[in-house]
Every structure is written in C-alpha cells, then in structure tokens.
Structure 1
Amino acid sequence: MLLPSRFTPLARAIPYRCFSIDFSHEKPAPHQLEHVTTRLVETVPLMFRHRMDYTFYRKDVLCDDQIFSVQKRGIEQLMSHFGMIGTLGQVFLPHVEMEVLSAVPVIDEGTVRFRWRVKYVSFLRLLTNPRLLRFDYRVQNLSWFDGYSVLTVDGNGDVFKVTLQKVCFQVFPQFIIFVPDATRRAEEFDNLDNREVEGEACAEDC
C-alpha cells in the first residue's frame, strides 16, 4: 500500500533498526573452527615475513603467552606483541622462519590446538660455522624450538583466548630439553590426532 505524498517525508524520517544476534557465549560451529584452522595454517608460516591475519580474533581477545610470561588483552595489544616478536626475529636472527606442524579443531571444547616450529640461525652460529652462509647447507642445519598453542573460539567464530606454550627446543643436535607439563600436553595432543585418524578409518570401513 502506497503512502500519501504528504506522509512520505514522515516515513523517510522513521529510523530503520538492524538487529544482530550475539553468540559469543556459545560454542562455535564446526565450520567456524575449520575457518580458524585454515587461516592459521595459511598465515602463521608468514609471521616473520608479512603482517599476520587478525580478522578472526575478538576485540577483547586475551593472549596468555607462557613463553615470555606475559599477558596481553585486546586486539591492539595482541597485534603489537606479535608484531614485536616478528620484528625482533628479523633483526637479531640472520635466518628465521616458522612452520606449522599440526592444527586440529576440537569441536567438544570449541578450540583449535596447533603445534608450530620456529627454525632459525643465530649470528653466533653463523660466525662459528661459515658453511651456514650457503643456503642449501643452512636449511638442513637450522636450530629450532617447538611451540604449542590453544585458541578458544566463541559462537561467533572469533578467537577470544590464545594460550602459547613452548614444548621443546634444540640447543645442540644431540641435546633436546623438554618442558614436562608442556610435553605432557603435547602427547595428549598427539593422542588426539591418532584417535581422529582411527575414527576416520573406522568410518571408511563402515
């Protein structure tokens, strides 16, 4: 039904309201966890080269960095913290790169658990071993340390908590030092991977 012309200005003055439903207190859907997992696998290896993707983090995200024993709250502090780590890595290490070892969405917990590895060469090693100047030799003899992260996702598909832990690191090729608590969590994480693989195999057999 058309409004009379004299009521048209009044109708235009009536504000339109848009309502959005907030699912931040609910668990995420499987496809939301898959999205976070995909973005991590695609962007984390570029940490020391490009700016990371922060589009799937909540504005009030909490970062519990147990590696450096600091906590950061808010997307701005998170970006600044990761940006500083990336910059310092490029400045103080002649070679540094990051690799994703595994990333698994855990639907029951609403989390994404993933393990990563930082591979690098320090200036001290470079000075004591000139062969590291050769790229093909260097990439085969990188120092490294592994980390374990848990990202908790809300019902909107946004990460609201990030926990970072160091699992183990290489001091010399013949020595590896383990952090007991983090190693135990990593073993649980590996067992979770194995259970999922076995579950997929059973599903295929059925």
Structure 2
Amino acid sequence: MLLPSTRFSPAFRAIRCFSIDFSHEKPAPHQLDHVATRLNETVPLMFRHRMDYTFYRKDVVCDDQIFSVQKRGIEQLMSHFGMIGTLGQVFLPHVEMEVLSVVPVIDEGTVRFRWRVKYVSFLRLLTNPRLLRFDYRVKNLSWFDGYSVLTVDGNGDVYKVTLQKMQQDEQKSLLLSTTEKLKEKLAKAAPAPANT
C-alpha cells in the first residue's frame, strides 16, 4: 500500500530533515567544538594508535606544506598520516605527539591548532647512552612545532586540512629582537656618567 504524498508521519519528516546537505554553509559553534575535542583526544595518540577519521569528509583535501604534498580523499589522507606514524615508529626510538593549543574560529569556520612532535633519533641515542633511561630521555627530547588549520563545513565535517611547520629560527629571532629592544630601552633610561 502506498502512502499518499501529502501525509507523512513525524518520524519520516525527522529522517528527511537530517538528509539535508549543509556542506555549503558555515559550521555551528558546537560542530567546531566537536572537532576540537576529537583533535585533543586523538592527536596525542598518532604514533601509538590509529587516528580518528570520523569527522573528515570523503573528499577531504590535505595540503601538507611540511612534506610539500597534497592529498585528496579520505583514503589518501589516512594512508599519508599512517605512513608518517609508521615511519616515525621505525626510524625514531622514542617519538610522541602533543597538542599545544586548539582554537575554534567561528567566523572563519576553522579549527586552528598547534602541535609538537617530541623525539629522540638513533644517532643521538648512540652518542648519549644516558638517553636509554626513560626519565632522563623524557626530559631531554628534541622537538619541532607544527601548525594546522582544519576547515569545517556546515555538516560538521572537515573538508580541508593545512599542515605547516613552525620555524624555530623565527621564534628565536622574535625572542632576540625583543631582548635587543629591551637592552636599548635600558641603555636610554640609564643615566650617563657625569664628567668631572
């Protein structure tokens, strides 16, 4: 028996409501918070477990500016991150990842986060045997920072990922420039010695 087209049950209307595509719209704040929460929970496990890919779109674009690679589609993204995780475990005796900050930007519909990869290389381990002790190794890890921008659509799915490496030299130059400015101010503020 066919239902008349003018009468739909409330359950059918609710199902129909959820099938609307909002991918062309901006995300709601709770959707950005969901992506930020998933990043906080899963990114630190990158080198230990499989990451969570449930909040990515099937046609996601990954612009990896660290390795100068662009990946299209969820399968390529999964294989790219999986390869990075596997190679990190194979070539580094100690590697871990930590999230430094996650900031949802509601106006742009993005989630921006800073992350840090801490590691010890085999060469460094061979030249410094004290790194074999876990407590010493954890205090003396090498690291580099990265910055990622995830762009979210109206369905709450990530459709673009941009990965960038933060340059440690830039951070040092900023620090040096502020210390130089402080030295100049102190030199101007100090009274000149009196000539007698």
Quote the offset at 1:8 in angstroms: 18
Secondary structure at the aligned position of 2:194 is classed as: helix
Cα distance in structure 1, aligned partners of 2:93 and 2:129: 13
- What is the aligned partner in structure 1 of residue 82 from structure 2? 83
- What is the aligned partner in structure 2 of residue 126 from structure 1? 125
- What is the aligned partner in structure 2 of residue 205 from structure 1? 195
Quote the offset at 1:13 in angstroms: 22
Cα distance in structure 2, aligned partners of 1:100 and 1:75: 22
Secondary structure at the aligned position of 1:139 is classed as: helix
Identity %: 91
Quote the offset at 1:20 in angstroms: 1.2
Quote the offset at 1:43 in angstroms: 0.3
Quote the offset at 1:205 in angstroms: 54
Quote the offset at 1:95 in angstroms: 0.1
Aligned pair in 2 of structure 1 residues 138, 157: CA closer, same or farther (>3 Å)? same
Cα distance in structure 2, aligned partners of 1:2 and 1:111: 45
Query: TM-score, normalising length from structure 1?
Result: 0.73
**Structure 2 gap ranges (5+):** 167-191
**Structure 1 gap ranges (5+):** 168-201
What's the CA shift string for 1:9-57, capped at 9, x where partnerless? 999999xx89710000000000000000000000000000000000000
Secondary structure at the aligned position of 2:150 is classed as: strand
- What is the aligned partner in structure 2 of residue 46 from structure 1? 45
Cα distance in structure 1, aligned partners of 2:11 and 2:126: 78
Secondary structure at the aligned position of 1:205 is classed as: coil
Cα distance in structure 1, aligned partners of 2:71 and 2:103: 24
Aligned length in residues: 170
Q: Give the ranges of 4+ consecutive aligned residues of structure 1 lying more than 4 Å apart after TM superposition.
A: 1-14, 202-206
- What is the aligned partner in structure 2 of residue 29 from structure 1? 28
What's the CA shift string for 1:143-173, capped at 9, x where partnerless? 0000000000000000000000000xxxxxx
Secondary structure at the aligned position of 2:193 is classed as: helix
Cα distance in structure 1, aligned partners of 2:144 and 2:61: 24
Aligned pair in 2 of structure 1 residues 10, 109: CA closer, same or farther (>3 Å)? closer
Report 1 or 2 for greater relative contact order, CA contacts < 8 Å, sequence distance ≥ 6: 2
Cα distance in structure 2, aligned partners of 1:203 and 1:37: 57
Query: TM-score, normalising length from structure 2?
Result: 0.77
What's the CA shift string for 1:44-91, capped at 9, x where partnerless? 000000000000000000000000000000000000000000000000
Aligned pair in 2 of structure 1 residues 11, 89: CA closer, same or farther (>3 Å)? closer
